[in-house]
Homo-oligomer: A and B are copies of this chain.
Amino acid sequence: MKTGNDDQAENLLKPIQHDTDVGKHHSAVVRPIDPAQLPRMLQSAIGKYKARFEAERNLVWEGDECGSILYVIEGWLALYKSLPDGGVQIIDFALPGDLVDPSGADGVTASLTVQAFTDGAVAALPYRLWERMLHESRHLYALVHHLDTARGARRAERMLRVGKGAAEMRVAYALLEFCIRIDAIMDENTPNFHIPITQQQLGDFIGLSSVHVCRTMRRMNRNGIIEMSDHMLIRVLDLKALSAIAGVDWHELKRDILPDASNHSTFA
């Protein structure tokens, strides 16, 4: 970006921090920030507000009123927006353990559509209840904030590639993102996972046509980087090459986008 003073510039934040208050990042964690604890913490609310859904069902429509947070218990949800001309962009996927707040700035109107890509179940927690729960449990609040941060980083990472990356990079990145999020089975470092989406939908996720997604994946296949079978059962043969194409370092990416107990330093 703007150049000319990168050398002389210091991280502005460092000098600002008043060490008495900051406490740096000492590792004295009070309670671990582990999203896996969410289901236990939400147990009673989940019991009360649980609802099953079927694949292809829309749970929320862009523009509708919406009074609840969704906690995904099981299944894949797609969050998407559409253009007047019919174009669709999937903003994000919500996987089990994720929270979805569809509302926009007014707090009641959904700013995107939430569609089920598989059968599954959610707990639809009313905003009022949710706000109360967050306020009553600092630990819950910390967990949720952790998920928020991870989601933000994930979307930013994708926006970078949709905005500035070529088709290969977009596809490679998307595969790695899935890979990390679903914690793919690593068989001798060759991730192996299934994603319940079509190439068309993958295209809607990364801003490509289905045809171009197909071509790109085939090329990666021919180059021995990935293997596909049976409707998006992916096997990453060459994780290094795929990461290189995606412009990603596997560990850095995990650190940035994976909400996980082993991946959080807290200041609390």
* Residues of chain A having any CB pair with chain B under 8 Å: 1-2, 4-6, 9, 11-13, 15-18, 21-25, 33, 48-49, 51, 53, 55-61, 63-68, 70, 78-85, 87-89, 91, 101, 103-109, 111-113, 115, 117, 122, 124, 126-129, 131, 134-135, 138, 141-142, 146, 148-150, 152-153, 155-165, 169, 201, 204, 206-207, 247, 252, 255-260, 263-268
Contact = CB atoms under 8 A, between A and B. Distances in A.
A248 B111 CA distance: 13
Given A104-B255, A149-B103, A256-B105, A64 B11 contact: yes
Contact of A13 (B60, B104, B252, B258): B60
Contact of A59 (B6, B13, B122): B13
A81 to B, nearest CB: 4
Given A16-B124, A115-B1, A162 B57 contact: no
Q: How many copies does the complex hold?
A: 2
Contacts of A88: 1, 164
B67 A128 contact: no
19 contacts: A1-B88, A2-B56, A4-B56, A16-B68, A81-B156, A81-B159, A83-B160, A83-B164, A87-B160, A104-B153, A104-B257, A105-B150, A105-B259, A105-B260, A106-B264, A109-B255, A111-B156, A127-B267, A131-B267
Contact of A104 (B122, B135, B150, B207): B150
8 tightest Cβ-Cβ pairs between the two chains A and B:
A163-B207, A104-B256, A105-B150, A87-B164, A104-B153, A111-B153, A89-B163, A89-B160
B21 A108 contact: no
Contacts of A6: 58
